[in-house]
Structure 1
Amino acid sequence: MVLGGFLAPVTLIFSLPGTPAATAALLLNFEAVATTLIAATIFREWVSRRVWIALGFITTACILLTWEPTGSLGLSLSALGILLTCVFWAIDNNLGQRLSAKDPLLVISIKGIGAGVITLILVLVTGEQFPDPSTIAAAMIVGFLCYGGLTSILFLLALRGIGAARAGSLLAISPFFGVIFSLLLFAELPAGAFYIALPIMALGAWLLVSEKHSHPHRHPAIVHEHRHRHDDLHHDHAHTADDPPLTSTGEHSHMHAHDEIVHEHPHQPDIHHRHSHR
């Protein structure tokens, strides 16, 4: 609520005016780097050598985009603000992954309402003026579709299914759409370093999203509850009359048991694949 819903967007809003739109869009790829670093070092998600190489490319591109000879210490403070935004969102992603087995609509509703109240208090304290009703309505539509509503629910489901590091990696595709829209909407062209950073960033993003991972692994016996389907390899359990029926999407949630099993198939560090690696 505080990191992802309040600190990150407020920091981003103050950082955007000093950064060209296309550059800002590319810098948001640092969220994938920060998310993966936290997931690997603190929460012990396994990350392959290919991913580390990809993160190196993206970080190099971010350094190029942050460099500004006339800025403080040769760096753009606005660009650094966008990188700090990515760090806030990266922490939010990893904490959200711990809640991903819960009802996503409930989690996002609580997070959104709480962050909205905190932001509203900041607005009132600082004496900011409210925009006109049409601007508020447009902002709410964009927010629901692209930031605090539908997107957040889908991302929470992705955190559950593939883990924070991989979800953050796939998110690395979105800034390239931001670059395309920025070039269509704004006459402002990015600086020269942008054209060097763009192919480096694209190579890093491709390495991230094209990663494959498969090896023999063991699932210990466990009893837990979360929303699940029955068309995968891990949910072939029997049901009782007390279990809820399947919804129209083929899912339901109830307490269920997993027997110990050893097998091999392509997988990601979802809630059923938190095993260690050699």
Structure 2
Amino acid sequence: MALASAVLFGASAPFAKLLLGSVDPQALAGLLYLGAGVGLAAVHGSRSALRIEAPEAPLRRSDAPWLLAVVLFGGVAGPLLLMLGLARTSAASGSLLLNLEGLATMGIAWVVFRENVDRRLLLGAAAILAGAVALSWQGQGVHFDAGGGLIALACLAWGVDNNLTRKLSSADPVVIALTKGLVAGGANLAIALARGASLPPPGMIGFAAVVGFLGVGVSLVLFVFALRHLGSARTGAYFSLAPFIGAVVALVLLPEPVPPQLVVAALLMGVGLWLHLAERHDHEHSHEAMGHEHGHVHDEHHHHDHDGPVTEPHSHWHRHQPMRHKHVHYPDLHHRHGHG
């Protein structure tokens, strides 16, 4: 799910670049997120109309502060900074610089939220950072233009967003993504129109909506699922594939040369991604008693009883009893323990 999310998001950057010559950057950011929100709202509505019950926990009132922060950082600031940055740099370079989002996500998860990051992941992060530096090398030293700086700030905003979204990852990802899309997209579009920007022709609006639905909406739903199972740091690491997809699509769609530093950057970032994907985390660990609600099946971590027959997966409030065991795991909903 993390890799599929990366493919969809990475491919969306060069397609968005095609529209930037004709559409105001902030208006485009709004249209992309509105496309995601409206598309997912249609999916959610059809699911209800067809009485297809999703085995997901609903958002609660206590989730509101986290959701508001996610919308502001990831839905308003992040896409606006990205569109402004893409308007000032090449699509291929901009796509590869998006790797910084993974580093920001992992750094915040490690330093602020104390999520475990082992030596292999740190080496992978170093390789990705080296690739970003190689991408910006101009012969006499490292040079980040205004576009690169704005994209880096977008990555920082999304790094904060990704770590905060982990707090919501037990709830329905479709509802999270459609709320983020509608609120953030509406805010960016309203601000752009208030500044004097004009709407593009209907054909461009439709194109932006499709790109937003797939590259933002569906990608975000998959990303939230991945956060639930992998934690912020590892999901961000796997998501580092996105810039490679974006760079390849950009070079196919747009007449841009392939500079040597782009090839070097791609190799370094590829090594970093491989180090992340080859990780194996296995040790004896303890689970404390806890209660929460999320979609689940009755596996080794879910041994509770029901009053009658149930279908799986399903969602309800349940409690976990203390237990200790050993198996391969990631910092998912049930494995956010400390390490010595």
- Counterpart among 65, 73, 77 of residue 135 in structure 2: 65
Alpha-carbon deviations, 1:66-94, whole Å to 9, x = none?
344699x8432211211111111111000
Aligned position for 1:145: 214
Aligned position for 2:248: 180
Alpha-carbon deviations, 1:133-167, whole Å to 9, x = none?
111111111111111x2111111111111101111
For structure 2, which runs of at least 5 residues remain unmatched after alignment? 1-70
Residues 214 and 152 of structure 1: CA distance in aligned 2, closer, same or farther (over 3 Å): same
Q: Any conservation in 1 of the 2:101–2:158 contact (CA below 8 Å)?
A: yes
The CA deviation at 1:22 is 1.8
What RMSD over aligned residues (CA atoms) do the two structures have, in Å?
Answer: 1.8
Equivalent AA in structure 2 for residue 134 of structure 1? G
1:189 partnered with 2:251: no
Alpha-carbon deviations, 1:187-221, whole Å to 9, x = none?
21133321222211111111112211010000111
Equivalent AA in structure 1 for residue 337 of structure 2? H
Instruction: Give the % identical residues.
Output: 39
Alpha-carbon deviations, 1:152-189, whole Å to 9, x = none?
11111111111011111111112211122112111211
> CA–CA distance in 1 between the matches of 2:206 and 2:143?
40
Aligned position for 1:237: 304
1:76 partnered with 2:138: no
- Counterpart among 244, 256, 274 of residue 318 in structure 2: 256
Q: Any conservation in 2 of the 1:227–1:252 contact (CA below 8 Å)?
A: yes
> CA–CA distance in 1 between the matches of 2:254 and 2:140?
24
1:276 partnered with 2:335: no
For structure 1, which runs of at least 5 residues remain unmatched after alignment? none
1:133 partnered with 2:181: no
Aligned position for 1:31: 101
Aligned position for 1:102: 171
- Counterpart among 69, 88, 93 of residue 157 in structure 2: 88
> CA–CA distance in 2 between the matches of 1:19 and 1:116?
23
> CA–CA distance in 2 between the matches of 1:215 and 1:174?
31
- Counterpart among 256, 271, 275 of residue 203 in structure 1: 271
Q: Any conservation in 2 of the 1:228–1:252 contact (CA below 8 Å)?
A: yes
Runs of 4+ in 1 over 4 A off after TM superposition: 68-71
Bigger strand share: 1
Aligned position for 1:218: 286
Alpha-carbon deviations, 1:103-138, whole Å to 9, x = none?
222222221111012112211221111011111111
The CA deviation at 1:262 is 0.6
Give the stretch that moved more between structures: 15-24 or 258-267. 15-24
Give the stretch that moved more between structures: 80-89 or 44-53. 80-89
Equivalent AA in structure 2 for residue 269 of structure 1? P
> CA–CA distance in 2 between the matches of 1:192 and 1:59?
17
> CA–CA distance in 1 between the matches of 2:150 and 2:135?
12
User: With CA pairs under 8 Å and 6+ residues apart, which has the higher RCO, 1 or 2?
Assistant: 2
The CA deviation at 1:18 is 2.6
> CA–CA distance in 1 between the matches of 2:106 and 2:139?
30
Q: Any conservation in 2 of the 1:8–1:89 contact (CA below 8 Å)?
A: yes
Aligned position for 2:4: none
TM-score (norm 1): 0.92
Residues 70 and 81 of structure 1: CA distance in aligned 2, closer, same or farther (over 3 Å): farther
1:266 partnered with 2:335: no
Equivalent AA in structure 2 for residue 129 of structure 1? S
> CA–CA distance in 1 between the matches of 2:116 and 2:221?
24
Residues 265 and 152 of structure 1: CA distance in aligned 2, closer, same or farther (over 3 Å): same
Bigger helix share: 2
